Amino acid sequence: MNTPYQILGEDGLRNLSEAFYTIMDELDEAKNVRAMHAESLEPMKEKLYEYLTGWMGGPPLYAEHHGSVCMTTPHKHYVIGPKERDQWLLCMDKALERIEASEELVTMLKEPMFRIADAIRNSENSEPRPQDDNMIAIG
């Protein structure tokens, strides 16, 4: 069985990353997750491409360029609840559609994509955290 990297190849992964962030910019349904990004999504397109390349079975580009591949650390400053997770997954589902990914690939990625998106979730809801410098614990 081929890996997702072998199925998509470098061009397919670049197209997926481009489509993902273009869709995030287009969809009103993704406004929460879009708000977590800078005005320009160009740097993120490259980072997603690098991450997905290694994650899907290709060379570990993200680790080579950025060190750790831990995805929870760069996202810890944002409130990511089920709504944001699902918005991210919606963008990915639509990106896979846009690049005309095979049904085999979509099926292969469905559960792993959910697991990675859910692993980044750090809240049970989408409510902003209190911003009190004197507060050391919330609970």
Q: Is the dihedral of CA 115, 118, 120, 122 positive or negative?
A: negative
Q: Looking at this protein, which amino acid is placed at residue 108?
A: M
Domains of the chain plus CATH, in order, are 4-120 (1.10.490.10)
C-alpha 102/C-alpha 99 separation (Å) is 9
- DSSP classification of residue 77: T
Q: Looking at this protein, which amino acid is placed at residue 84?
A: E
In tens digits, what is the pLDDT along the chain, a chain of 139 residues? 799 999 999 999 999 999 999 999 999 999 999 999 999 999 999 999 999 999 999 999 988 888 876 777 777 788 899 999 999 999 999 999 999 999 999 999 999 999 999 999 988 877 765 555 554 444 4
C-alpha 7/C-alpha 73 separation (Å) is 29
C-alpha 131/C-alpha 71 separation (Å) is 23
